[in-house]
Amino acid sequence: MQSPTHQVTNQVKPLTDNNLYNDDAILTAGVQRLQAGWHAAELARYGAELGREEIWALADAANRHAPELQCFDSLGNRIDAVEFHPAWHALLGMLRRENLHALPWSAPRPGSHVARAAGYFLHAQVEAGSLCPTTMTFASIPVLQKEPALFAALQAKLYACEHDGRDLPLGQKTSMLIGMGMTEKQGGSDVRSNTTLAIPLPGGGGRGADYLLTGHKWFFSAPMCDAHMVLARTELGLSCFFVPRWRPDGNKNTVFIQRLKDKLGNRSNASSEVEFEDAFGIMVGDEGRGIATIIEMANHTRLDCVIGSAGLMRQALVQALHHARHRSAFGAPLAEQALMQNVLTDLALESEAATLLMLQLASAFEAPNDPLQRAWKRIVTPAAKFWICKRALEFSGECMEIWGGNGYVETGPMARFYREAPVNSIWEGSGNVMCLDVLRAIGREPEGFTLLLEHLHSVTSGHASIGVMLSSLKNLLSTPPDQQERNARRLVQTLILTVQAALMAQHAPPTIADAFIDSRCDAAAGRVYGTLSSEINADVQKQIRKRVMP
């Protein structure tokens, strides 16, 4: 039906029924290069599924219908249940079916971390909230594997490739999800200020023993998970605990949900505040070594922050490019106008470098005993989390602006992308925390950092501008510690741009690599996108954009 006043023209139809994997030349090449080609057919199938209109409708519904807390049942019994829209469970079912919660642990083989990262990257382009419990479950598995008795009881349910959203004791469920509860009101990222206490039950304490926890958590992620990894204080200091939703005797654990967080984005996922009143928990890891235990999990969760932000950037760019190709203004399609071409090309370079970086980091997790790969994992991962997650904010805003007013309203995906962008920069350590962690990692592993610098120099020896960045990096690290801390963001920015430049030099066509390197080393280029030099000719710019979407 049409109004008699006008016809609708020059509006861009939604991009659907495309294959998110097959259309991504950078991702498909990286999967093959980094030993994950055995998973390509599954990724192509999943990429086609995620591109379907009905899957985008699930993502929209899951975010429009936020989780609701039900503290009591109709009879007045305390149940502390969180109700989700069916779309949420459908999305979790997809993630579970693809084994994105456990692939490298349940089916280890060369390239398994890369295969899992590629699938996670694809899902992140459509719906991000469902990734949160997936990530936490994934990150908990290598920690729980070190607790033989506990892991033996959990392994089948952790590895199961089906989603079981029922709120039941673990013995009655087919699969499980694990969340995290680290931060408290008074501390945030400073978990050393935590006050939650853990008292051992009769029979002794220590690793593997049962405890009762009393205290609170200010952010308790995904409260309907079947268990949470929690930090609490014992006589020897902060320790890590496995706190199930249901006690071994079949009663609900005394973890009381106070309220759900009213968040800016990530609205499909529930985050909560909780109180522990003698809540049952099992110590994981050595007593007093809770932070060290959690750091192992954080390495994986931070990688997922990088992958998720890179995926969001990729899809925001695809949507912007699709819009620019089909929307006309001032007598010509947007994509044919010189200034818009500059913006789109610059965004495409940024997205390609982010994709290469997340794949390389995932590959580094394949070889934990290799000194160079350990440096990538321990030093570059927090640096990448700082940089990619921050760039996602500006990036998604630029892509939304390309859509104009249509991007600012909730009838399309751009507003959701923009609201989603900040979470990865905040969760698992803010920007300052990441930069200080990079400095600590360099100080603890100087030999690994030296190997990393030597590697970067060897693969970029033909690029004088990268040599300048490497020299700048060394100069920043030669300053006194107080100056290093003050300049930590500059140092980490220089490091990650050098790393991205090296990856582009290795894996992108020379003209495209040169465009990235020259623009990121150009002091005249501002922080806004679309300031590429006119020396990058129109043919090269077109080639860069076509790599995003054929």
Give the residue from 542, 400, 379, 353 showing the smallest Cα distance to 446. Answer: 379
State pLDDT tens for residues 346-363.
Answer: 999 999 999 999 999 999
Q: For position 523, what pLDDT does the model report?
A: 62
Cβ-in-10-Å burial (0-12, 13-18, 19+) of 423 comes to buried
Question: What pLDDT is recorded for position 533?
Answer: 86
Q: Which residue has 């692939």 as its token pair?
A: 103
Across the range 166-189, mean pLDDT stands at: 95
Confidence of residue 238 (pLDDT cuts 50, 70, 90): very high
Lowest mean pLDDT among 178-192, 318-332, 522-536: 522-536
Give 535's pLDDT tier (boundaries 50, 70, 90).
confident
Q: How many CB atoms lie within 10 A of CB 521?
A: 17
CA distance 257 to 260: 8
Q: What's the CA gap between 449 and 455, in Å, rounded?
A: 10
Cα-based distances in Å from 84 to 64, 130, 263, 365, 418: 11, 11, 16, 34, 23
Alpha helices in 145-235 (DSSP H): 148-159
How does residue 542 score in pLDDT terms, banded at 50, 70 and 90? Answer: very high
Tokens 């990650």 correspond to 496
Cβ(335)–Cβ(526) below 8 Å: no
* Region 210-225 average pLDDT: 97
| pLDDT over 90, % of the chain | 93
User: Would you place residue 66 in the very low, low, confident or very high pLDDT band (cuts 50, 70, 90)?
Assistant: very high
CA–CA separation, 307 vs 222, rounded Å? 20
Question: Does residue 523 or residue 544 have the better pLDDT?
Answer: 544
Q: Does residue 3 register a pLDDT over 80? A: no
**Span 102-133, pLDDT tens digits:** 999 999 999 999 999 999 999 999 999 999 99
* Distance, CA of 328 to CA of 337 (rounded, Å): 10
CB 254 within 8 A of CB 79: no
The residue type at 232 = A
Tell me the sheet residues that pair with 70. 81
Q: What is the mean pLDDT of residues 72-87?
A: 97
Beta bridge partners of 197: 214, 233
* Residue 374: both structure tokens together: 């350990």
Q: What percent of the chain has pLDDT over 70?
A: 99
User: Are the C-beta atoms of 158 and 137 separated by less than 8 Å?
Assistant: yes
Distances (CA, A) of 225 to 238, 295, 423, 425, 532: 23, 21, 20, 23, 46
| pLDDT classification of 524: cutoffs 50, 70, 90 | low
Task: Spell out the CATH class of 293-548.
Answer: mainly alpha
pLDDT at 306 over 70: yes
Q: At CA 51, angle to CA 49 and CA 55, rounded to 5?
A: 70
Tokens of 358: 């997340």
Fold adopted by 170-288: Butyryl-CoA Dehydrogenase, subunit A; domain 2 (2.40.110)
3-state secondary structure 488-548: HHHHHHHHHHHHHHHHHHHHCCHHHHHHHHHHHCCCCCCCCCCCCCCCCCHHHHHHHHHHH
Query: What is the per-residue pLDDT for 526?
Result: 61
Torsions phi, psi for 163 (to 5 deg): -95, 130
Q: Is 330 exposed, middle or buried (0-12, 13-18, 19+ CB in 10 A)?
A: exposed
Compute the distance between CA of residue 497 and CA of residue 484 in angstroms, rounded to an integer. 18
- C-alpha 272/C-alpha 258 separation (Å) is 7
Phi and psi for 11 in degrees, rounded to 5? Answer: -105, 140
The per-residue DSSP string of 412-469 comes to: SSHHHHHHHTTHHHHTTS-HHHHHHHHHHHHHH-HHHHHHHHHHHHHHSTT-HHHHHH
Q: Looking at residues 15-23, what average pLDDT do you find?
A: 97
pTM of the model: 0.97
Average pLDDT over the chain, rounded to whole?
Answer: 96
Write down the pLDDT at residue 528: 86
Burial class (CB in 10 A: 0-12, 13-18, 19+), 331: exposed
Q: What is the mean pLDDT of residues 457-463?
A: 90
- Which amino acid belongs to residue 435? C
Q: What's the CA gap between 358 and 374, in Å, rounded? A: 15
The mean-pLDDT minimum among 257-266, 409-418, 455-464 falls in 455-464
Q: How confident is the model at residue 340 (pLDDT cuts 50, 70, 90)?
A: very high
Q: Tell me if 201 sits within 8 A of 195, measured CB to CB.
A: no
Query: pLDDT at position 164, please?
Result: 98
The set of residues, in sequence order, having a beta carbon less than 8 Å from that of 109 and lying 6+ positions away, is 38
> Binning pLDDT at 50, 70 and 90, where does residue 525 land?
low
Q: Where are the domains of the chain?
A: 25-159, 170-288, 293-548
